[in-house]
Structure 1
């Protein structure tokens, strides 16, 4: 097992160097000096201290630029983070290196409604198992995401609609004791947005929206390259924006919420009604075979050309698009990235969301607006959770 545990940055420049190495990869001393506009002596001093703290290491000489060769610096090879993404129906964990490259990953089906104790026990077991597999004693930090509103400063969920028993539960503190390191908690879509920003299609975009369409529907907002959480941490909770043509009862207690109209549970509900009424013989066959229907069954029926299932997806995509059109007019993003389980429904969903946004938004706001699917899948959340805690770990010690 590894025994050297890295320390923490002691100056703001040290913290900036660590973040630069995380996001841009190995850098020569000259590159760091030029990027931060400080002398090579200053860079050398700070790198010497970071080396003593077991946070960076030399990995070889830089390419010659004439004269004495500079040295290439990278984050220390033994720096490790754990990212845990707790979803409505699954728990995923990953161990990353200092640059947030996934070294080990595990995903297990799990209903978040089982409550915090068994779900967090599963998450901790996953994380510890991956650490042992990699020969790591203790990570530098653990980032965790959950599918509900979070008090970021206290590390607790706050009245999460689809997480009974989790309100006020000390998730951060419980996992902090299990892993013996700093732990940060955020909601799932914020973590996914950070993951997309770090290693996905949004890596070079300063202003974008990450929209998760799954059991719940939410939106991560990145403005000027910074995640925006809002006053109390609930910015982007678009799943509870009302849509005009729905009176479905939502788990939050209101009616007509977007999530109640086209979340994973809503799609399964509407598919079940279509199967039982005989409107869709194909869904009826799937119901008879499986005993119930899920969003995945709708996707199977869509792939087989079932017109009722196709219409369910189109109706849902239109509703999502109508809400996003309002956000486009308000925020004017450079990019919209769609993720979450329901994006597996594929091109029909993407095309309906795109078409609705383009029809309902002003041309000026959409003429340079790509709307794309995330290609990170289940790893967006764990990478984002690891990035979340890396920002804390690389900051100046308090």
Structure 2
């Protein structure tokens, strides 16, 4: 027989959804009082009061001074408690790692950046992070507890399992249990994502793309990848590998074998590792005196040579930008973003990269798709990765389906 009693699970889902919506409005700064929350949500005053009281009791919101009155009693200002918990954050690139602590607004509180070849394997990479985290945590003894960890890695990640799948530049990382290793040591929930997805999220939440609905973040570093944001949300795709553009084939044949085993992948011709190899060959031939004097080359040496007008280096950087731009022209026609942000060490090595990217996109994309398109360089490439790794965890912590599992216990740890 059908029951006249309400579906308890449905009521709980509605409660948690309302908690998540209210919390999101306050922590994003879109609403600061109960009346403002009512206007944004359309929910009743009594329901809003109940949800706010729950979030106050949970320590996620606090009340401040009185806000402006609209005719009646002045409402209390609501504030998100950013330091209710802290996050472990780490962002790995091919040759460097950034490891630190962040608060619940994504603000990085402490950060250590150091060289570390990700190809050395997962155990050394995590041990290096553990060493840094332990030192940072000892420095902050007595402060708020750890709530979660967010990690970015330069390879394809199945987001639901937090495991890398056949990463071309990361030998030994396939299927490695990053989440399990960190959980065993620190006892917190862990989320792992591709490094470029994290960089896109960092730009969306705290960088050049704030307020953008549809944009691309493109990293041109040792490898090449893209993070896609659609309607204000990161688009990972069915398995989490959306945006892996570095392994698309170039239009023209080069005869270069990529680290993934295929031929003429974009990053095998236009990525930082490929450019450094060609620059070293040019220096050995005596084609560039500037490069020859630098010894063993890195992307930083390409920046040095480009700043001094070295023809070989500028040609290599321009070629990289052109090839990336040709790939992006197809993406622009398909996706129609309003903004493209170019970051990574190669993009920072010279203005010729960005100029060539822009030229190829504007020449080869549809006029309507580029009419209002902005193409800019990232202003904070050194920070967007770790900031985005923090938001990788923050967004999941406060998602209704996850929030409901811990809100009544006071902490997700």
Q: Normalised by the size of structure 1, how large is the TM-score?
A: 0.93
Measure, in 1, the Cα distance between the counterparts of 2:244 and 2:255: 19
Instruction: Give 2:392's aligned residue.
Output: 388
Task: State the Cα deviation string for residues 165-194 of structure 1 (Å, max 9, x = none).
Answer: 000000111112222111101100111111
- For residue 217 of structure 2, give the secondary structure of its aligned residue in structure 1: strand
1:116 aligns with 2:122: yes
Distance 1:40 1:60 in 2: 20
Counterpart for residue 258 of structure 2: 250
Partner of 1:129: 135
Query: SS of the counterpart of 1:27?
Result: coil
Give CA deviations for 1:134-180 in whole Å, capped at 9, x if unaligned: 34353221111100001111111111000000000001111122221
CA distance in 2, matches of 1:91, 1:191: 14
Residues 371, 21 of structure 1: CA spacing in aligned structure 2 closer, same or farther, 3 A cutoff?
same
Aligned to 1:69: 74
1:90 maps to 2:113:
no
Tell me how far apart the structure 2 counterparts of residues 26 and 181 of structure 1 sit (CA, whole Å).
Answer: 30
Q: Does 1:235 align with 2:239?
A: no
2-structure distance, mates of 1:334, 1:220 = 14
Match of 1:282 in 2: 290
Gaps of 5+ in 1: 1-8
3-state SS of 2:282 partner: helix
Q: Secondary structure at the match of 2:346?
A: helix
Classify the secondary structure of the residue corresponding to 2:293: helix
Corresponding residue number in structure 2 for 1:6: none
How much does 1:279 deviate? 1.2
- Matched with 1:164 is 171
Alignment of 1:194-233 (within 5 A): 194-233=201-240
Per-residue displacement from partner, 1:195-238 (whole Å, max 9, x unpaired)? 11001111111111110111110011111112111121111110
How many residues align? The count is 386
2:61–2:79 Cα contact (<8 Å) kept: yes
Distance 1:137 1:121 in 2: 24
More off after superposition, 51-60 vs 112-121: 51-60
Q: Which residue is equivalent to 1:191?
A: 198
2:362 corresponds to: 358
Confirm or deny: 8 A CA contact 1:22 1:100 kept in the other structure.
no
Instruction: Work out the CA distance in 1 between the residues paired with 2:292 and 2:110.
Output: 40
Deviation at 1:78, TM superposition (A): 2.5
| Runs of 5+ unmatched residues, structure 2 | 1-13, 406-413
Q: Is the 8 A contact 1:88 1:112 kept in 2?
A: yes
Q: 2:325 & 2:241 partners in 1: Cα distance?
A: 21
Secondary structure of the equivalent of 1:140? strand
- Aligned equivalent of 2:383, options 360, 379, 382: 379
Match of 2:321 in 1: 317
Q: Quick one: which of 329, 336, 351 aligns to 1:332?
A: 336
Q: Hey, which bits of structure 1, 4+ residues long, moved more than 4 A?
A: none
Q: TM-score, normalised by structure 2?
A: 0.90
Provide the rounded CA distance (Å) in 2 between the counterparts of 1:59 and 1:180: 33
> Does the 8 A contact of 1:25 with 1:99 survive in 2?
no
